[in-house]
Structure 1
């Protein structure tokens, strides 16, 4: 397990404080840590792609475990499955909130 490096955390907090004081914006990043673009549809497509990759990896690890691959442990397979499940549930909640917001807007009186 990785230990917490307090000097690195302090330096990161100071960098963020300086960015906030100078008025510069902190760049958005996606789940994979890549810089995020500004268009919501692109962000949602990237998120769906990431969820799909996680599910494919979980399925592959599960198949390899069932086939008896010695390089795959039960813990790896279960962990990959849980990551994929959590990512899918988060994406589903975003979709549900988008649908609800759309319905709220459509039901507003003119």
Structure 2
């Protein structure tokens, strides 16, 4: 009795593992091509721009009295601020790397 239950559990586990393996294979085969650095940078900048726009919209709505949700406003402001700080840091690193490359002798 115990042997048959254990054997059935083992078979079920193996079947689940095979199904998961097939899902992983099918997912990795349909992978889209890797984006270039420029495309990734452009996408990131557009997301930061959207966050800034959302922040401005929420500030206007709060100031006009349309919404009273201070928590959402503060969260939006913090997200936009952190995104802008990160963008500024990345910009600084890119400029630094560019300057370093320009100093290299060829």
Q: TM-score range by the shorter chain?
A: 0.5 to 0.7
Task: Say which structure, 1 or 2, has more relative contact order (CA 8 Å, 6+ apart).
Answer: 2
1:36 to partner: Cα distance: 8.4
Unpaired runs of 5+ in structure 2?
A: 1-19
Deviation at 1:37, TM superposition (A): 4.1
Equivalent residue, structure 2, for 1:109 = 105
Matched with 1:47 is: 44
How far, CA to CA, are the matches of 2:56 and 2:83 in structure 1? 14
Instruction: Provide the rounded CA distance (Å) in 2 between the counterparts of 1:84 and 1:105.
Output: 31
* Structure with the bigger percentage of helix: 2
Q: Which runs of 5+ in 1 are unaligned?
A: 1-14, 28-34
For 1:1-110, what aligned pairs fall within 5 Å after superposition?
A: 37-70=34-67, 72-110=68-106
Shift of the 36–73 alpha-carbon distance from structure 1 to 2, 3 Å rule, reads farther
Given the two structures, how large is their TM-score scaled by the length of structure 2? 0.66
What is the distance in 2 between the residues matched to 1:75 and 1:63? 15
Select the structure of larger CA radius of gyration: 2
Q: Structure 1 residues 57, 37: closer, same or farther in 2, change over 3 A?
A: farther
